[in-house]
Each structure stands twice: as structure tokens, then as C-alpha cells.
């Protein structure tokens, strides 16, 4: 339970966090600031925040907890207006720039700053799509650094757990590497695929006959362009390294098709299928174990 | 209503077709043949077929309709054992090889052959996963050629409509081109992505933190390797042409990230988002219209 919470950036994630805290009665008063005044009004009318602030500083003064939910490269300008006496956390999809921003503003990472990242989202955005249950049964990764007070990490962990999330800790570097693989590269492929296909022929037709996996995959190309622009700028080296390995593999597969080497092609597909199936089995076992507990 | 139906290849699609015909009472007797005897037994026990045949010829003799649901490059060997006096259709994801197979076996495409392709499926396979409602509210593409009797096309169309599908007609060439874009290339990317990611580091971790779009996308890498090997062999030129355009675009995006050109990157993302959003709006309008009728 937090007495006073400030949410800076009241979009889908900030709004869902506020809505979740309200629903679970984990916050006393929630104040919010956003550059979009209409979104703040909407949040007020939805009853997920208690007051609208005039500025970041106004939202955060006397706050017990500040939640920063803005595109990653905007975090530094926000930190400039916050006092590290508050507990501070964020939801950015890349963690290294949060650490850099903190060092630039505070000289180091304050003991009260707990970088975080909920592995949840949607191609929807804006506070109108806020959902108090968005984080339920989803993982949240926290990346505390050496100077982070373990008590701060505990407080942030308990809030996320209160919203129904499973909280995991890992290093900043490991987070940024894993997410480059599981989220950033797939988003890049979805954007490239949708842009490449929709620029040729009848683009409506392309989506019309999209079935199953591609339908879901193309949906992620509707994600917020500014947020993703920042992610690729912030996590460029990791994304490029993983993209290049992917391009090598795709080049090999291209050769197999061009040369009609269907045996090699089948081997690749079989290997990918086994990896995916192996995960599905492990995952369903884990879920049954969790359900049994 | 068909008096005697033969299903050659009793997997997910063939089994779901048989199950659908049974449920909607659109078939009298359904006979099936498959190289997998256990699958045939299972189909019999599930009550979705009435008899198990010893061979393709045995399944198809006296059949009013033969449904061929095997990997595309196996269709030719099946046609050799079928008389074109039956109405014949198939569900292959590439249509050109069906025409070629027919010409090789019959010298031309018989008036009774109606190539087809339901845009439905799942990463599950085998008759055990058969679902009589698999095709409901899904599109089915028929690609009749000049020699196809329009009455044959009508009969096949009515069967699919009876299973709840929306039936569209297009040329063989157009089908193979559109599907290379909407299905074949996305599957190739999913296989390549899963194989590339799972071969480095902790592959379980990669799937564990996969959220939203990637989770769905990686699931299609669990599709049947033999079926997909055949698709890429059969539709190689179209897939390679579309893959190369995609690789060009991905190369451009790679440059934008490497050079930190975040403005250009945002433009690509914005364009892809607009294309996807435009489709979503059109589609929801169409759905409302359909529901209103």
C-alpha cells in the first residue's frame, strides 16, 4: 500500500498500473501528469487517477512512489524533475538507458530507483484502453543495480505482485539482450513485413488472407511508433547483433529453397518445431505445477 | 449432400472436413485412407469416418466426392489411383502443383477437379485434433481452371458454405502469389526466428519472456515440417521474390538503426501502423455489415 503515487505518462501501461492499484486498493491518492491533457481528463473520468498535475514536478512532490511510463528516451528529462527521496520505478523496454539517464541526472543510480519492465502490453494504446488486469499472470522483470536498496526493490516487487504479476530479477545487460531476442527483433520483423507487403499490390488483400500466426504477428505492427523508435535507438547494438545472426540463418534458408534442397529445409523446420514443442511441454508442466500449489 | 465421400489423408484438415460433414449431415458414408493406420482407427473411434480403406483406390471407388488432404507434393501419386468420374477437390496451400499433377496424370485438368484451399489451420496436427468447426467463419479459396465444369465448382462451394466458410474464387497464379505473402513468407520467418533464437544461449528463456505477438508467431513454427517443406519447394519462385523484397526492406531498416536515423525509422513504423490500422477499420466495418445482413 502506497499513500501517494505519481504516474508520469498516462498511456496504456501507466493507466493500467494506476487502474490496477485502484482496483486492488494498493494506493491512497494517485496523481498523474502527461503531455496529453485529454488523456489525463479521461483518466480522471475513468476514476483511475485522483488528480491531474500541472507538471512532472507537481505530480511527484510528496509522492511515495513515482511510476515513469514514457518512451525510454524521454525518461531522462522526467528524472530531472523528480527528487530521489521518492521510490522511483519505470516500465521501459530497454533498461540501460534508464541507468544512463539516472547517472546523467543524479550522478549515480539512487538507492530508491528500481528499474522495471512488465512483459505485457497490447497494440492498443492510450489511457482509454487501460485495463486493471493487464499485468495479471504476466512476468515483470526488475533490474536493480548495486546501489539500489534491496528494501526499494522489495516494495516495487510487492506492488507488482499485488497486481497479480510474477516478478523476476535480472541484470540490466541480460534484460536488454533477452528482450532484443524475444521482443525487439520480432517487432522489427513485423514492422518490416507489414510495410514490405502493404507497399506492393493490393494491400487490403494481403491482410484479408492472413491467417492464424501472421494475423497476430501483423497486429504488433500497430504498436506505438515513437515508443518503438526509442527502443531501437536505445538497444541498437544488441538488436543488430541478433538481427545479423537471424539474417545469416534466413540467407541459408533462402539458399535451400533456391537450390531445392528440401531435405535441409525439412531439418530446419523440424529443429524449430522441436524447440517450440519442447518449450510448450515445459511450460504446460510448469503451469500445472503452479496450479497444483 | 454427398452420398459417398472419400477422404485421402486423414490429418487435422482432412479429419476436420470429415467431422464437419458428419456434424452438418452433409455426407452419407465417409471412407478414409491414410498411410498412418493409427490415425484411421482414431478417426473411426471418434465417429468422424464410417470406414477405413485399404488403399487410395479402395477409398475412392464409387465416391461422389474425393477430398485430397495430403502435403502438396504427394497429390500426384494420389491422383494416379483416382477416377476423374468422381468430383475431386483438395486443400493444398499451393495450387500450381495440383494443376501440374493433374496434367501429368490425366493429360489435362478434368472437369470434375476443383482445386481448393481453406485459410484455416492450427499448429496442431493429426486427426486427434480434428474440429468440425475449424472452417467456420474462415475463407476458402477455390481456383477452378478453364476446363473445370462450373457445376463442379458449385458443388464444392456449397459443401464449404455448409461448413460455415466464405468461399472466394481466384486464379491459380494469384492464389499462389497472395499466399506466398500472407502465409508462406511469415511461416518462413517464424521457422528462421525460432531456429535462430533457440540455437543460442538459453533457449527456454527466449520463449519464457516472449510476449504477445511473438508468442503467437513462434507457435506457427510448430507446424508440420513435411507439409511446409513441400510448400516451399512447390512455391519457391514466388516465395523467393517476396523474400528478396522483404530482405531489401529489412536491410534498409538495419541501416537506419546502425546510423541512428530514428526519424526514418519512425516513418517506417508509422507507415506500417497506418496500413495495419486501415485494415482493422475496414475489416471491422465489413464484419458489422455482414452481421447486419
pTM: 0.87
Which residue in the set A223, A226, A279 is minimally distant from B207, CB to CB? Answer: A279
Query: How far is Cα A92 from Cα B144, in angstroms, rounded to an integer?
Result: 52
Decide if A276 and B122 are in contact by the 8 Å CB cutoff.
Answer: no
Q: What is the pLDDT of residue A292?
A: 39
Query: How far is Cα A177 from Cα A180, in angstroms, rounded to an integer?
Result: 5
Chain B nearest-CA distance from A164, in A, is 16
pLDDT-derived band at B288 (thresholds 50, 70, 90) equals very low
Closest by Cα among B51, B105, B49 to B75: B105
Nearest residue on chain B to A117, alpha-carbon basis: B209
Cβ(A114)–Cβ(A139) under 8 Å?
no
Which residue in the set A211, A219, A283 is minimally distant from B121, CB to CB? Answer: A211
Chain B nearest-CA distance from A87, in A, is 26
C-alpha cell at A198: 502493404
Closest by Cα among A170, A243, A165, A10 to B250: A243
Return the residue in A121, A123, A185, A191 with the most chain B beta carbons within 10 A, the one to mutate for interface testing.
Answer: A191
Cβ(A211)–Cβ(B154) under 8 Å?
no
Query: How far is Cα A249 from Cα B157, in angstroms, rounded to an integer?
Result: 41
Cβ(B157)–Cβ(B73) under 8 Å?
no
Q: What is the pLDDT of residue B239?
A: 96
Closest by Cα among A52, A96, A57 to A73: A96
Query: How far is Cα B181 from Cα A100, in angstroms, rounded to an integer?
Result: 41
Decide if B212 and A220 are in contact by the 8 Å CB cutoff.
Answer: yes
pLDDT for B291 beyond 50: no
Nearest residue on chain B to A122, alpha-carbon basis: B212
In tens, the pLDDT along B60-116 reads: 999 999 999 999 999 999 999 999 999 999 999 999 999 999 999 999 999 999 999
Beta bridge partners of B281: none
Q: Which residues of B touch A125 (CB under 8 A)?
A: none
Give the list of residues 6+ apart from residue A285 with CB closer than 8 angstroms, or none.
none
Query: How far is Cα A197 from Cα B266, in angstroms, rounded to an integer?
Result: 18
C-alpha cell at B177: 502469389
Chain A nearest-CA distance from B84, in A, is 30
- Residuewise pLDDT in 10s, chain A (293 residues): 899 999 999 999 999 999 999 999 999 999 999 999 999 999 999 999 999 999 999 999 999 999 999 999 999 999 999 999 999 999 999 999 999 999 999 999 999 999 999 998 777 789 999 999 999 999 999 999 999 999 999 999 999 999 999 999 999 999 999 999 989 999 999 999 999 988 876 667 777 777 666 777 777 888 889 999 999 999 999 999 999 999 999 999 999 999 999 999 999 999 999 988 887 777 665 544 443 33
Q: Which residues of A touch B279 (CB under 8 A)?
A: 203-204, 207-208
Which residue in the set B189, B194, B214 is minimally distant from A275, CB to CB? Answer: B194
Residue by residue, DSSP assigns B239-257 as HHHHHHHHHHHHHHHHHHH
Decide if A269 and B120 are in contact by the 8 Å CB cutoff.
Answer: no
Q: Which residues of B touch A205 (CB under 8 A)?
A: 178
Return the residue in A229, A235, A258, A282 with the most chain B beta carbons within 10 A, the one to mutate for interface testing.
Answer: A229
Q: What is the pLDDT of residue A289?
A: 42
Q: Where are the alpha helices (DSSP H) in chain A?
A: 12-23, 37-46, 56-60, 75-79, 96-106, 150-162, 172-179, 185-198, 203-208, 212-219, 225-234, 236-258, 262-292
Give the list of residues 6+ apart from residue B240 with CB closer than 8 angstroms, or none.
A254, A257, A258
Q: What is the pLDDT of residue B75?
A: 97
- Parallel/antiparallel/unpaired status of strands B116-118 and B139-142: antiparallel
Per-residue CA distances from B245 to A198, A250, B180 (Å): 12, 13, 12
Chain A nearest-CA distance from B177, in A, is 10
C-alpha cell at B180: 506466398
Which residue in the set A197, A254, A266 is minimally distant from B226, CB to CB? Answer: A266
Chain A nearest-CA distance from B222, in A, is 4
Left if phi > 0, otherwise alpha if psi is -120 to 50, otherwise beta: which for B70?
A: beta
SS (H, E, C) B161-172: HHCCCEEEECCH
pLDDT-derived band at B199 (thresholds 50, 70, 90) equals confident
Give the list of residues 6+ apart from residue B284 with CB closer than 8 angstroms, or none.
none
Q: What is the pLDDT of residue A220?
A: 82
CB pairs < 8 Å spanning A and B: 280
Decide if A250 and B275 are in contact by the 8 Å CB cutoff.
Answer: no
Beta bridge partners of A166: A139
Domains of chain B as residue ranges with CATH: 2-170 (3.40.50.720), 175-260 (1.10.3660.10)
C-alpha cell at B111: 472437369
Which residue in the set A233, A279, A283 is minimally distant from B262, CB to CB? Answer: A233
Query: How far is Cα A160 from Cα B20, in angstroms, rounded to an integer?
Result: 46
At residue B277, the 3 state secondary structure works out as: helix
Q: Which residues of B touch A257 (CB under 8 A)?
A: 232-233, 236, 239-240, 243
Closest by Cα among B194, B224, B196, B222 to B210: B194
Q: What is the pLDDT of residue B290?
A: 41
Cβ(B114)–Cβ(B87) under 8 Å?
yes
Amino acid at each position: 500500500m502506497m499513500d501517494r503515487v505519481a504516474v508520469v505518462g498516462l498511456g496504456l501501461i501507466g493507466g493500467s498500473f494506476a487502474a490496477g492499484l485502484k482496483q486492488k486498493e494498493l494506493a491512497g491518492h494517485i496523481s498523474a501528469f502527461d503531455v496529453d491533457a485529454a488523456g489525463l481528463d479521461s483518466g480522471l473520468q475513468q476514476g483511475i487517477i485522483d488528480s491531474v498535475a500541472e507538471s512532472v514536478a507537481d505530480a511527484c512532490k510528496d509522492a511515495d512512489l513515482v511510476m515513469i511510463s514514457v518512451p525510454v528516451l524521454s525518461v531522462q528529462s522526467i528524472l530531472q524533475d523528480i527528487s530521489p527521496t521518492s521510490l522511483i520505478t519505470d516500465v521501459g523496454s530497454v533498461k540501460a538507458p534508464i541507468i544512463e539517464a539516472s547517472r546523467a541526472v543524479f550522478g549515480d543510480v539512487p538507492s530508491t530507483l528500481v528499474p522495471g519492465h512488465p512483459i505485457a502490453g497490447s497494440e492498443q494504446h492510450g489511457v482509454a484502453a487501460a485495463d486493471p488486469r493487464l499485468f495479471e499472470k504476466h512476468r515483470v522483470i526488475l533490474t536493480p543495480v548495486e546501489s539500489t536498496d534491496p528494501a526499494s526493490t522489495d516494495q516495487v516487487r510487492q506492488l507488482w505482485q499485488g497486481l497479480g504479476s510474477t516478478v523476476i530479477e535480472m541484470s540490466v545487460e541480460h534484460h536488454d539482450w533477452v528482450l532484443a531476442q524475444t521482443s525487439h527483433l520480432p517487432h522489427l520483423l513485423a514492422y518490416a513485413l507489414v510495410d514490405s507487403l502493404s507497399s506492393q499490390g493490393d494491400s487490403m488483400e494481403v491482410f484479408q488472407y492472413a491467417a492464424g500466426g501472421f494475423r497476430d504477428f501483423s497486429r504488433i505492427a500497430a504498436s506505438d511508433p515513437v515508443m518503438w523508435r526509442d527502443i531501437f535507438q536505445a538497444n541498437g547494438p544488441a538488436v543488430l547483433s541478433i538481427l545479423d545472426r537471424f539474417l545469416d540463418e534466413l540467407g541459408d534458408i533462402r539458399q535451400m529453397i533456391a537450390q531445392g534442397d528440401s531435405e535441409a529445409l525439412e531439418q530446419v523446420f523440424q529443429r524449430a518445431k522441436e524447440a517450440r514443442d519442447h518449450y510448450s511441454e515445459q511450460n504446460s508442466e510448469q503451469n500445472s505445477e503452479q496450479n497444483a500449489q
